[in-house]
């Protein structure tokens, strides 16, 4: 599905819903999370609708280009080399918005896992 009119992240990618966009190209968009969980909390999404990372990869999406965009976004917001990258795959993992997104969390010391 290229675009889902009911999907809030598709609407943000189409600039039909306001968001604080920090980086954009023809494949991906990065914007600030509306409810930040760290000093810097940016979301990176593909412009085309895809539910989560597993579907993106199954559809032949380029993880190289996506991660290069993530890295450039981190540099853009001033956290290059110092950030946490998280993507939730599926509801049981805590995914709320069913459009693939990476959380870039940074700007402060983050608690470790485990």
By the 8 A CB rule, do 30 and 23 touch?
Answer: yes
- Report how far residue 29's alpha carbon sits from residue 14's, in angstroms, rounded to the nearest whole number: 10
Interface ranges with Zn ion (CB under 5 A): 4, 7, 9-10, 49, 99
Q: How far is the CB of 32 from ligand 5GP (least distance, A)?
A: 6
Take residue 48 and report the two structure tokens written for it. Answer: 């085309």
CB nearer to ligand 5GP: pick between 43 and 53: 43
Q: Using the rule CB under 6 A, which residue among 81, 94, 111, 112 binds ligand 5GP?
A: 94
- Report how far residue 18's alpha carbon sits from residue 107's, in angstroms, rounded to the nearest whole number: 24
Partner touching 35 among Zn ion, ligand 5GP, none, CB below 5 to 8 Å by kind: ligand 5GP
Q: Which of 41, 49, 99, 101 is catalytic?
A: 101
Take residue 75 and report the two structure tokens written for it. Answer: 């540099």
- Report how far residue 80's alpha carbon sits from residue 54's, in angstroms, rounded to the nearest whole number: 26
Asked if 96 is part of the footprint of ligand 5GP (rule: CB under 6 A), the reply reads yes
Task: Just list the catalytic residues.
Answer: 101
């Amino acid at each position: 599905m290229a675009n889902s009119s009911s999907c809030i992240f598709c609407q943000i990618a189409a600039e039909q819903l306001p968001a604080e966009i920090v980086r954009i190209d023809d494949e991906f968009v990065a914007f600030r999370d509306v409810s930040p969980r760290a000093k810097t909390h940016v979301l990176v999404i593909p412009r085309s609708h895809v539910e989560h990372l597993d579907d993106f990869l199954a559809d032949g999406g380029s993880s190289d280009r996506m991660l290069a965009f993530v890295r450039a976004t981190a540099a853009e917001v001033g956290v290059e080399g110092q950030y946490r990258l998280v993507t939730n795959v599926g509801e049981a993992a805590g995914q709320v918005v069913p459009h693939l997104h990476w959380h870039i969390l940074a700007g402060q010391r983050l608690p470790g896992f485990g």
